[in-house]
A and B are shown apart, each in its own frame.
Chain A
Amino acid sequence: MAAEVHYFGIRHHGPGSARRLVDALEALRPAVVLIEGPADASDLLPMLADPAMVPPVALLVYASDDPARASFWPFAVYSPEYQAACWAVRNGAAVRFIDVPAAWGLAAPPEPEPVSEDEAIEEADEPAPPPAIDEVSMRLERDPIGLLAEAGGYQDGESWWRDVIEESPAAGAVFAAVADAMAALREAAPPAQGREAVREAHMRLEIAKTVKETEGAIAVVCGAWHEPALKARVPLSQDRERLKGAPKQKISATWAPWTSPRLAFQSGYGAGVAAPGWCGHLWETSRDEIAVRWLGRIAHALREAGHIAPTASLIEAQRLAVALAAMRDRPHPGFEELREAAIACLCHGEPLVWDTVSARLLLGDAVGEIPADVPLAPLIEDLQREQRRTRLKPEALERELAVDLRSESGLDRSTLLHRLSILDVPWGRLAEAGRSRGTFRERWRLRWEPEFAVRLVENLVYGPTLARAAAGRLTARLAEAVELPVLCDLVLSALTAQLPDAAHAGVERIEHRVALTSDCGELLSSLAPLGDIVRYGQARRTDAAQMEVLFVRILSQGALALPYAVRLLDAEAAQALRASVLAADAAAVLAEVDLTDWRQALSSVVDDDQATPLLAGVAARLLYEAETITPEAAAELLGRMLSPGRAVADAAGFFEGFFDGAGERLIYDASLRAAVDAWMLSLEGEAFTAFLPLFRRALGNLDRMQRRRLLDAVFGRAGAGLQGRIAVADAEAIWLAHLQRLTDILTARPAT
């Protein structure tokens, strides 16, 4: 006998429909539950009811030969699909997915040219819709209820569901109401085409097949949009015709732990959840307490963030939300009313305050767990494949590996190890710390630990392949990092691990941070690592042009800030800034960019009376080295800066800035030496004694020989320092005879 089929049009990830669905299943007690989802993953469905499985989790289906082509179907605890599966398992009903097999969407694209990684990602994440379908009809298919809610002036589909659909108390009536609405919508919409039509045909066929096989009631749980189409009477042969020519692809499927913030991204069902935290709240909280408890959570979050949120204000917020709902003719305060009331009463009208707490409230912080016995995760498979490709075996004993980055295999190995380190799987540790990017050699110490496999599975949240997981994880870290040096480091690791997308995101973050910071020291000290990136990037053909622009911008911003930053610094701050200025100058000179602004900033530092003398000295020396200041002008400047009229400490600071680490210059530069000499001679005995420690410091890093040469130079014995080493006039003749003798001795020929 034919079984009777009951259709439940639901809203994907809608707590309202999940609640009603459970009631309806309980009333109907079907023998079979059919769920919209990839039919070839049906075997995994019962696992959802495993007590060790804690949502949010995602069904992950990927092409066995290429995990980069993968699709995720996330489930939250309030997803009707999840509740239906759990109900079926608990009540002994059969449960199956009926949508087209995931394999069809994951088949390799037919065109022969290789697809770049970006495109592959897009295709994998959401099966590309036929271009004829515009955005509205795409949303219609994915979230018709959200669209209806918007038409009704709601921003939140769940509030609309609650106000409009759930006003009728009987569970069955709710689904009937949805079905009516959808039937009306579909009548007005153009008939299903392309992929959508194929999916609906597949679901109809599966339902028909189940009807034949089953005794008792059948419950079909599908997106509300599809319900009218699944009920439609279409000849089976016509449906079969549609399914012809389906691509073939071997797939693997497994469960992956998910997080509630990631539920907010579009993938799998495509509906996406704008606010997983809000949906979770709706699911957990009993109907009549939704408003007050949500406000309570807001108040709690505000208090944690250090704001004052008194109970009296909570009462007022609740009253305002009710008044707003009444004014908008809504039976209950919904998401928007509660948000606006919270802003007006709890956040003192500042949407910014709301924004600081809303991200956590709306996105939630739930992390899913999966049981230990789920099938192997694709990241581990991908790693095994990579290990075979790069011929690196995981070994528990430590061993060394040297790779040559110039060879392709070396580069591949290095990339793999770098990517694993980003994923917090330190299979290989780079032996020499520090910047080895300049060289073509890397030395790794390899050791595989069993727990690395577990860590890899944890990384599944970021992506199904090593490359994509590493890029995802790096992007997440980039989003958290604030300081420029940290950001620069992360970008460097993105580049070494060959993750251009993450590097690109990092550059954007750097750009953003650069614009916001006004700390001259931070700006300047980011120039050195950035300069490295620019040069490194050119070698690897990454988007060097963008980073060069950024470099120039930071330099000019630093140049603008420098004259203000050098004022009124204490000794410690002055030393720190001096280091940044020196590093920045070196990086800027190496980068071969336009230095006019930078040099101008340096000279304004030299001319500024308020500038800290140490930095004025540094600036003067850099200008002198760049030959922007002539030796005569430098001597004059030194004379002026070190003139007796200036406070001894100021003069000493300038002297230190100018000469520290550059005492050698005095040996070779006569006019500079003359200026210093003249200044020293002009010092009174007492002042001279006061300066002595400073002289020591400035000249102390000269070695013995250099000191002697300096003294020789000062005492006018120019060239005398090299006495005895000057080639004698007839050196050529002597040397030949000498060589002859040596050869004789070496070849043991008797002396002539």
Chain B
Amino acid sequence: MTDILRLPAETTYAAELEALKRKDDAPTPRGWAMSPKAVVTYLMGGKAADGTPISAKYVGDRRLIETAVATLATDRALLLLGVPGTAKSWVSEHLAAAICGDSSLVIQCTAGTDENQIRYGWNYAQLLANGPSREALVPTPLYRAMETGKLCRLEELTRMGSDVQDTLITVLSEKMMPIPELNDAVYARRGFNLIATANNRDKGVNELSSALKRRFNVVVLPLPDDMNEEISIVTRRVGEMAQSLDLPAPKNVAEEVARVVSIFRELRGGSTLDGKVTLKTPTGSLSTAEAIAVTVGGLSQAAYFDGGKLSAEGLAPSLLGAIVKDPVQDKVVLEEYLEAVLKKRPDYAGYYRALVDLV
């Protein structure tokens, strides 16, 4: 048992990675720890060549992961797009762990990220004492990845300013980073590449310049297609989280999860599950992760205030919060949904009443 709250993927899944490398005879790009096929197996689950079972890291369309891996194999940078809660960072971490055995070269991009955090910084004591030199450089994760031929991960690329984003253009097209102060440059070794993640739903982010966007191959990770798949993801994660928060799980969790997920899916998909009624969609993303948060919120309400019973009344406030992100537009959407759909469903009567009261 370790004291570390969360270990990096390459440590947690070291055994699986070893097993995959052991008998990997498929062609492997230079600088890669294993073949692209083995990487896909690692992400999607299956069996290693020697029969070791590999757990699935990503539940969804295999083709998307294949496209992502093939992109990295052609030395093009990969941009994972998606609404919040679609496992972008999770996939990026596991890709890095499988391809170069190191998922720790991460730059978290924020509005405050400047060029020094992307390219290199200076050790000012050294700089003042000895003048500019390689020793006075403070390398960034990107710098290190280029030097060692590894993958560098950029989290939430669009959160940093466009001017800073554009520093990446030379790195991506010429695979080198000039150091004008030293009249020198870092040349990337084979195996170097970039995986960026970005969120395509947020308002007020810095849109990628088309010059930069063109240098990425983009893979959009969608919300789960299949109702049962999504319910099982939510139930599993809610169970894990309830356990870690020491919340007792009431008996009716599964039923309520199914209702919450179906409300989410109907609003998100723009039609009822039976396809008979078309609906408007609210501005929020209503991702699986939010369905999990709503249920956990309801659980904690149930445990501390409602005597352990998970009820529509307990879930409704968090549901409302998840659905109505824009007070005018989304309210109309929700009202229409309540009147056109939920009102007519006897088993959703509790939700209808609770939500109508709140709206």
Binding site for B on A (CB under 8 A): 308, 310, 312-313, 316, 319-320, 323-324, 326-328, 336, 340-341, 343-345, 347-351, 511-512, 514-516, 518, 553, 556-557, 560-561, 564, 597
Within 8 A of A (CB), among B48-97: 63, 66-67, 69-71, 73-74, 76, 79, 81
Which of B37, B70, B214, B279 is A515 in contact with, Cβ under 8 Å?
B279
CB <8 Å contact, A316 and B217:
yes
Give min CB distance, A601 to chain B, whole Å: 11
Cβ–Cβ contact A308 & B278, under 8 A = no
B333 to chain A, nearest CB (A): 9
Please tell me if the beta carbons of A324 and B66 are within 8 angstroms of each other in the complex: yes
Q: Which A residues are CB-close (under 8 A) to B73?
A: 323, 327
Q: Is B127's CB within 8 Å of the partner chain A?
A: no
- How long is the Cα–Cα vector from A515 to B73 in the complex, in angstroms? 45
- B48–chain A nearest beta-carbon distance, Å: 17
**Closest-CB distance, B285 to chain A (whole angstroms):** 15
With contacts A327-B36, A518-B332, A560-B339 taken as known, whether A344 is within 8 angstroms of B69 at the C-beta atoms is no
Q: Given contacts A313-B214, A518-B280, A553-B340, is CB(A320)–CB(B332) below 8 Å?
A: no
CB distance from B214 to the nearest CB of A (A): 6
User: Which residues of chain A are within 8 angstroms of B293 by Cβ–Cβ distance?
Assistant: none
**Contact between A351 and B220, CB atoms less than 8 A apart:** yes
Q: Is A557 a contact of B340 with CB atoms below 8 Å? A: yes
Q: B328-355 vs A: 1/0 string, CB under 8 Å? A: 1000100110011000000000000000
B247 contacts partner chain A, Cβ-Cβ < 8 Å: no
A611 to chain B, nearest CB (A): 15
The CA of A351 and the CA of B40, in the complex, are separated in Å by 21
Verify B74–A323 contact, CB threshold 8 A.
Answer: yes
Q: How far is the CB of B96 from chain A (nearest CB, A)?
A: 18
Residue of B nearest to A350 (CB): B220
Report the bound CA distance from A560 to B279 in whole Å. 14
Cβ-defined contact, B70 with A327, below 8 A: yes
Q: Would you give 18 A-B contacts (Cβ < 8 Å), ordered by A?
A: A312-B214, A319-B76, A320-B67, A323-B74, A324-B66, A324-B70, A327-B36, A327-B66, A345-B218, A348-B218, A351-B220, A515-B280, A518-B332, A560-B332, A560-B336, A560-B339, A561-B332, A597-B339
Residues of B within 8 A of A561 (CB): 332
Instruction: Give the distance in Å from the alpha carbon of A340 to the alpha carbon of B66 in the complex.
Output: 10
B76 to A, closest residue via Cβ: A316
Kindly list chain A residues whose C-beta atoms are within 8 Å of the C-beta of B252: none
Q: Which 5 A-B pairs have the closest CB atoms?
A: A349-B218, A515-B278, A323-B70, A349-B220, A344-B217
In the bound complex, how far is the Cα of B208 from the Cα of A159, in angstroms? 36
CB pair B210–A344 under 8 Å, yes or no, is no
Partner of B280, one of A316, A328, A336, A516: A516
In the bound complex, residues from chain B placing their C-beta under 8 Å from that of A515 are 270-271, 277-280
A151–B67 alpha-carbon span in the complex (Å): 21
A327 and B40 contacting across the interface, CB-CB below 8 Å: yes
Does any Cβ of A come within 8 Å of B233's Cβ? Answer: no
Q: Is B219 an interface residue (CB 8 A)?
A: yes
Determine the residue in chain A with the shortest Cβ distance to B40: A327
Residues of B within 8 A of A340 (CB): 63, 66-67
Partner of B67, one of A324, A516, A564: A324
Q: Which residues of A contact B217 (CB under 8 A)?
A: 316, 320, 344-345, 349
CB of B79 within 8 A of CB of A349, answer yes
Say yes or no: A320 contacts B76, CB within 8 Å: yes
Q: Mark B205-238, 1 if CB is under 8 A from A, else 0.
A: 0000010011001111010000000000000000
Query: Provided the pairs A323-B73, A518-B280 are in contact, do residues A564 and B332 lie with their beta carbons within 8 angstroms?
Result: yes
Question: What's the least CB distance linking B267 to chain A, in Å?
Answer: 12
A511 touches B71 (CB 8 A): no
B81 shortest CB reach to chain A, Å: 5
Is A556's CB under 8 angstroms from B339's CB? yes
Assembled-state Cα–Cα distance A349/B70 (Å): 14
Q: How far is the CB of A349 from chain B (nearest CB, A)?
A: 3
Are B336 and A557 in contact, CB atoms less than 8 angstroms apart? yes
Residues of B within 8 A of A348 (CB): 81, 213, 218
Given known contacts A556-B340, A560-B335, is B81 in contact with A320 (CB within 8 Å)? Answer: no
- On chain B, the residues within 8 Å of A328 by CB distance are 66
Residue of A312, A348, A349 with most chain B CB atoms under a 10 A cut-off: A349
Complex Cα gap A320–B213 (Å): 16
Query: When chains A and B are docked, how far (Å) is the Cα of A347 from the Cα of B217?
Result: 9
B71 contacts which of A326, A336, A344, A347 (Cβ < 8 Å)?
A344
In the complex formed, the residue of B with least CB distance to A561 is B332
User: Are the CB atoms of A349 and B219 closer together than 8 Å?
Assistant: yes
- Bound Cα distance A564, B214 (Å): 42
B25 to chain A, nearest CB (A): 13
Task: Give the residues from 258 to 281 in chain B that come closer than 8 angstroms, CB to CB, to chain A.
Answer: 270-271, 277-280
CA distance A553 to B222 in the complex (A): 31
B37 to chain A, nearest CB (A): 6
Chain A nearest CB: distance from B127 CB in Å?
39
Minimum CB–CB distance from A159 to chain B (whole Å) comes to 14
**Nearest CB in chain B: distance from A672 CB, A:** 34
Q: How far is the CB of A558 from chain B (nearest CB, A)?
A: 11
Nearest A residue to B277, CB-CB:
A515
Docked Cα-Cα span, A327 to B27, in Å, equals 9
B188 to chain A, nearest CB (A): 18
Chain B nearest CB: distance from A504 CB in Å?
14
How far does the Cβ of A92 sit from chain B's closest Cβ, in whole Å? Answer: 50
- Across the interface, which residues of B come within 8 angstroms of A345, CB to CB? 217-218
B208 CB to nearest A CB, Å:
9
Point out the residues of chain B lying under 8 angstroms from A516, CB to CB: 270, 278, 280
Q: Which residues of A contact B220 (CB under 8 A)?
A: 349-351
Question: Is B70 in contact with A320, judged by CB distance below 8 angstroms?
Answer: yes
Q: How far is the CB of A344 from chain B (nearest CB, A)?
A: 4
Residues of A within 8 A of B335 (CB): 560
Cα A430 to Cα B54 in complex, Å, equals 73
User: Known contacts A344-B67, A348-B218, A560-B332; can you find 13 more A-B pairs with CB under 8 A?
Assistant: A316-B76, A320-B71, A320-B76, A323-B71, A323-B73, A323-B74, A327-B73, A340-B66, A341-B67, A344-B218, A348-B81, A348-B213, A350-B218
Alpha-carbon distance A474/B314, docked complex (angstroms): 50
Q: How far is the CB of A496 from chain B (nearest CB, A)?
A: 27
Residue B277 contacts which of A347, A350, A511, A556 (CB distance < 8 angstroms)? A511
Complex CA gap A75/B126 in Å reads 79
Instruction: Give the chain A neighbours of B280 by CB distance below 8 A.
Output: 515-516, 518
CB distance from A563 to the nearest CB of B (A): 10
From A312, A350, A560, residue with most partner B Cβ within 10 Å = A560
CB-based nearest A residue for B39:
A327
How far is B36's CA from A308's CA once the two chains are assembled, in angstroms?
Answer: 30
B221 to chain A, nearest CB (A): 9
Chain A residues with Cβ below 8 Å from B36 are 323, 327
Hey, which chain A residues are within 8 Å of B279, CB to CB?
A: 515
**CA A319 to CA B328, docked complex, whole Å:** 47
A344 to B70, CA, bound (A): 11
Distance to closest chain A CB from B26 (angstroms):
9
Q: In the complex, A313→B210 CA distance in Å?
A: 11
| CA of A316 to CA of B215, assembled, Å | 9
